[in-house]
Structure 1
Amino acid sequence: MNLRDKSQSKMVDVFKTGKEYRRRDLHDMYGGQRYGGISTPSKHPFIMIFTGDRGEEYGYKDGWTENGIFLYTGEGQEGDMQFIRGNKAILEHEKDGKDIHLFEYVRTGYVKYVGQMLCVGYRVKDKDNKGQNRKVIVFELMPIEAELPQKGSFK
C-alpha cells in the first residue's frame, strides 16, 4: 500500500495487501506502541491498527458491515472511552496528514495487512460488549480502494 512521504510529497510503497508481517518487525522498523490495537509511530505519517478475535476477550468486537465499512472499536478497557491518544489519532488522521493501515491477526505475533482505511465517521455505544454501561467509541472505516457507487445508481 502507498503512504505519503511528507518530505518529498510523493507516494511510497510500504505494505502489501494480504502479506503477513511479524508485528514485532513492524515496530522495530516503524516504531509505535507495541501493545494494544492502535499504534501511532511518531516519525512516520501513518497509524497502524490491529484487529483479531483476541480483542473480544477485552470487550472489543470489530468487523465488516454489509456495506463494506469496517467497524473498529476504539481503545480504553475501563470507563468511558474518550477521544485521546489513539482514538484521537484515528478521528483526526486526515487533518494530521496520517494514513490508517489495518492489520488482522492470523496467528500469535503475526498479522496480515488488510489495507489502507479512511475514517468516515464513528458511533458511540452506551454499553460495551459485556453489557456494562459505558461509552464505547466505534469507528467507521472505509477501505481506500473501495469502489464508489456510479452516478445515478441511487434510486
Structure 2
Amino acid sequence: MSIAAAHEYLSAQLGHEVGLSNWITVDQAMIDQFAATTHDDQWIHLDSDRAARETPFGGTIAHGFLTLSLASRFAYDCFEDLPGQVMGINYGFDKLRFLSPVRPGNRLRGRFTLTDVKIRKSKELLRTSTLHIEIDGQDTPALVAEWLGLLIFDH
C-alpha cells in the first residue's frame, strides 16, 4: 500500500472508534513492581494502611504513569501494521489528563478514536488518536490522552 493509499484509508476512519483493547487487571504486585522499577516509592502507592487513613481513596492507588504505560499494551491489542508499513513509533502526547485513580483490583482497557492523520514525510504518516483508558464499572476514565504515532512505510 502506498503512503497516499494508507492516508486515504485512515482518513476515512477519522472521528471513529478504531480500537478497543482487552482488559488488564492492575493489582498491588504490579504497582509494587512499577514503584521498584521507576524508584517512585511514594507511600500513596505502597502503604495500604497509611493510604487508607490519610487519603480519600480508601487504600493505595496506581501511579498515573503506570496507567499511562499500559497504553502500549492496549495499542498492541488494537492496531496492526498496514500493508507496506515497516514499523510504528511512539511520537508522544499532545494532551494528557489523569481523571480517576486506579485502585488495586481495577480492570483497565484502552479505547482509541482516530482524530487526525497527516503525511509527515515521504515515508511517514502521523496518526493522532484520542485514548481513553477506562476503568471497568466506572463512568469516568482513568485518563484521556491525545497520542501521536508515526507510521513508517518502506516506499
TM-score by length of 1: 0.25
TM-score by length of 2: 0.25
**Larger Cα Rg: Structure 1 or Structure 2?**
2
Q: Which structure would you say has the larger RCO, counting Cα contacts within 8 Å and 6 or more residues apart?
A: 2
Task: Give the structure with the higher percent helix.
Answer: 2
